[in-house]
Each structure stands twice: as C-alpha cells, then as structure tokens.
C-alpha cells in the first residue's frame, strides 16, 4: 500500500477526497444513471439503485447531485456537448464554404449517433421522455434546444444565401425548419435502426439528396 492510499484511509470523509477521486465518482454515477435510465426509463430507476450499481454509497449521489432533476440536467449537459462542439467547429468553416460546412455538421452528428454509446443512450433517454409534470422543466429545455438547432441550421443557410449558393426561390427560414425535420427524423430513426451500417448509408443518402436539392444550379 503506498503512502497516498494510506493517508486516504485515515481521513475518509467525502469532502477530503482528492478532486480526482471525486470526479471519478461523479463520472461513474453519470454513466451508470444514463445507462439505467436509457434501458428502463427514468421513472423505473431509483437514485439508490444507481448508487449501488455504480459501487458508491447512496449518500455519494447527494454529495454530487441535488436531486434527480439535477442529475438529469447534468447527464443532458454531457450529451449535448458533442453536438455543440460539432456546431462550433463547423461555424468557422461556414464563412468560407457554408454548404460544405452544413453537410459536415449534419454528417458529424450522424457519425456521433452511430459511434458513441453514451450519445445513443442519451438520445434514447431524452427523446422518449414521458410526459410527466415532474419532467416538465427537462421537456422545456429539450424544446428550447430543438429550436436552437434550427437556429444553427438557419445560420449555415443564411451564409449560403449570402454566397449565392442556395436556390434563389428558397426561404432560409422554411429551409432551416425543413432541414431540422430531416435531422430529427434521422435521429429518431437511429433509435429503431438495428443495422448501423445500413442506417449510415440511408442517412448519408438523405443528407446528400437534401443538400443537392437546396443548392443553386451551377451556371
């Protein structure tokens, strides 16, 4: 047993744990909660069970999270982040080549959904949220985020319009809504699709068709 471990066993009350240990416990709780919630539905899993399955005490849950809502929001934040990063990355390229950036953004999101287990679990969890008063604030947040995604899509399309890359008669606002329907349709689809390869081919095909359909005809 090294010196560090020895020290720890002497003062084992939670606040004195190292920051790293605390972060590990928090991550383990978030991951286990996401897994159990996605599997069985939020309303059929207790905080107690999450603690037990993550191998920590019931009290540790309350050390890291105020309550179930807080836990849920923190899980959500983790899932949302990769989508945000996709957008931020492509927002830079959008100034040079907005339609390419838009396509890369859409493909990037599809890639995430087909490769990241936690994004898949998160999607399953948050987009099939039961209509319950206890989850109303979460549901509102999801709706806001959906609108935010549409406004991101609008940004790409506005840039494309400015660069005269869009078909003239297309409305930027309508097309952003159309595109958001396609994107959320694809994400919904990812929940029922059993063959990731087939799903990816289908998603790419649809994104390609839509991008072609919006682009101005080449002179």
Q: Is 139 an interacting residue with respect to a copy of itself (CB under 8 A)?
A: no
Q: Are 49 and 71 in contact (CB under 8 A)?
A: no
Task: Give the interface segment with a copy of itself, choosing from 22-30, 45-53, 57-65, 203-211 (CB under 8 A).
Answer: 203-211
Give whichever of 129 and 170 is closer to a copy of itself, judged by the CB atom. 170
Exactly one of 25, 103, 159, 178 binds a copy of itself (CB under 8 A); that residue is: 178
Q: Which is nearer to a copy of itself, 24 or 171 (CB)?
A: 171
Alpha-carbon span 7 to 2, nearest angstrom: 9
Query: Shortest gap between Cβ of 21 and a copy of itself (angstroms)?
Result: 41
- The contacts of residue 159 (CB under 8 Å, 6+ apart) are 94, 95, 98, 101
Phi/psi-derived region of residue 41, left when phi > 0, alpha when psi is between -120 and 50, beta in every other case? left
Q: Which stretch binds a copy of itself (CB under 8 A): 67-75, 93-101, 118-126, 208-216?
A: 208-216
Residue 117 DSSP one-character state: H
Nearest distance from residue 144's CB to a copy of itself, in Å? 15
Cβ at position 38, least distance to a copy of itself in Å = 16
CB of 115 to a copy of itself, least distance (A): 20
CA pair distance 113, 119, nearest whole angstrom: 6
Task: Pick left, alpha or beta for residue 7 (phi over 0 → left; psi -120 to 50 → alpha; otherwise beta).
Answer: alpha
Tell me which DSSP letter residue 218 carries.
Answer: P
User: Is 142 an interacting residue with respect to a copy of itself (CB under 8 A)?
Assistant: no
Is residue 61 within 8 A of residue 78, CB to CB? The reply is no
Find all residues with CB under 8 Å of 105, minimum gap 6, and list them.
86, 87, 89, 90, 152, 156
Q: Residues 95-134 vs a copy of itself: string with x where CB under 8 A?
A: ----------------------------------------
Stretch that binds a copy of itself, among 9-17, 19-27, 28-36, 163-171 (CB under 8 A): 163-171
The residue ranges that bind a copy of itself (CB under 8 A) are 167, 170-171, 174-175, 177-178, 181-182, 184-186, 188-189, 201-202, 205-206, 208-214, 217
């Amino acid at each position: 047993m090294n010196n560090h471990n020895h020290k720890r066993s002497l003062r084992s009350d939670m606040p004195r744990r190292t920051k790293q240990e605390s972060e590990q416990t928090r991550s383990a709780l978030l991951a286990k909660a996401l897994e159990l919630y996605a599997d069985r539905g939020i309303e059929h899993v207790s905080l107690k069970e999450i603690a037990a399955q993550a191998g920590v005490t019931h009290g540790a849950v309350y050390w890291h999270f105020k309550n179930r809502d807080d836990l849920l929001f923190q899980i959500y934040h983790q899932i949302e982040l990769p989508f945000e990063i996709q957008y931020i990355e492509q927002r830079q390229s959008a100034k040079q080549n907005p339609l390419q950036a838009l396509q890369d953004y859409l493909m990037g999101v599809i890639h995430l959904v087909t490769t990241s287990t936690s994004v898949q679990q998160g999607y399953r969890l948050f987009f099939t949220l039961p209509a319950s008063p206890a989850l109303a604030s979460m549901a509102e947040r999801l709706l806001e985020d959906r609108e935010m995604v549409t406004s991101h899509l609008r940004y790409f399309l506005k840039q494309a319009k400015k660069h005269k890359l869009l078909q003239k008669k297309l409305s930027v606002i309508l097309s952003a809504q159309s595109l958001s329907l396609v994107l959320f349709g694809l994400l919904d689809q990812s929940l029922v699709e059993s063959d990731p390869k087939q799903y990816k081919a289908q998603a790419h095909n649809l994104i390609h068709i839509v991008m072609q359909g919006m682009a101005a005809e080449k002179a």
